[in-house]
Structure 1
């Protein structure tokens, strides 16, 4: 939808708002009426009143005129029209704004059985489910065995700096650390109002001088970990390709899947380490 021309988006915005207004009745929103109404649904002035905006402004919005809109006003219109979360996001896109992430829904929703089964099925290869602030939501047993995570680990970045076992196994920890911090800063910049990023920074800033020094550089970079190398104390070097996928119904969640890098000789020691047949 965002690839459509501005004129095309405004035309779709007009039709979308009219449709949403027409499907509501005064009773649905608690408006008392008298006599018969010539048209179904709410009137424009009723939607404007419910949203707390001017009738002329709402009329211009519904007509698809080229006007400036704010997130606050779009949220008010969404509430007035009783839009669902997908419809609210659609309204944002048609109005030319990036829809806000539905963080409340993501935080309140538990990890589904299907996702946990996927993580477990990925074993003996490591798999991680995290949120956008790199908080760990779920991991499989292979992640614990291969990367040294345990039940005290709650955030990928915090573990990168504070988990002694993980650090000791990371083959290139010192050279990779600046890129990891730069990638976290780039992610944080997309969500300036999300307090989770601030909590991670505050926690690490108070406990890790290394992180504090790197964070003070204000370096910004692209996501890293396309290749992850560890030196496991039991089986030696393990090298993985990393694939990160967005969970469709939880766009603030990311699934990181680790696969033995072809030609690296990782399959056999990984199978010995996890006591499973080598992955096909």
Structure 2
């Protein structure tokens, strides 16, 4: 498990491009036959992925000092690849592409498998500390709370699918979902915002090989960017904006942890304040 330190906004102003990428960009998430884990000391979120050729079992690792991965944690999973199965203490949950799964605190054995090892599933997940156990639930894309926003005129027509949230599949602190941009639309989360009470991780995918996403971060008056490619994630501290524009349309998964779960608890940033 890779461990990333927290970040001070005053220090961030002086980071080079390479330092920003080292601290916040997560590359090479989906490696066939492996589980990748990145532990951020920003709100203790773990971002990970499993791409099973043979069954893969999720282990706690020395970094957690726990008997098993979810001893004191919860997690949300969304499959962005071919069909696969997540077994939770022997109970199998088959996930098609874009199906999700919430697993509550206390589940001891998590095993990832693919329906076809020649076309492995791509299980993406976020995990956060938890103080209460909520039921494990499978989440179909068709069952998510969907909100259509934006317009082609503003280049941000998109549908937000909420998988794990207070009015749906409940969790201790994790909120998770997916945003799908319509063809011809490139912008996400603009006008932008911050939320001091929560941090966020974005996973960008469905980006063509000849395209990139410019992910914007930093304080509103001190913005920086990270060039993102397909199936890469980026960590966003609570003091940072988290917005992006692609050279083509794309999809992204967002996961938030922190003080509350209120989706609309955002501090809007007027366009005039951006620098």
Same-fold call, TM > 0.5? no
Q: Give the number of the structure whose residues are more often strand, by fraction.
A: 2
Higher relative contact order (CA 8 A, sep 6+): 2
Structure with larger Rg: 1
**TM-score normalised by length of structure 2:** 0.26
**TM-score normalised by length of structure 1:** 0.25
Q: Give the number of the structure whose residues are more often helix, by fraction.
A: 1
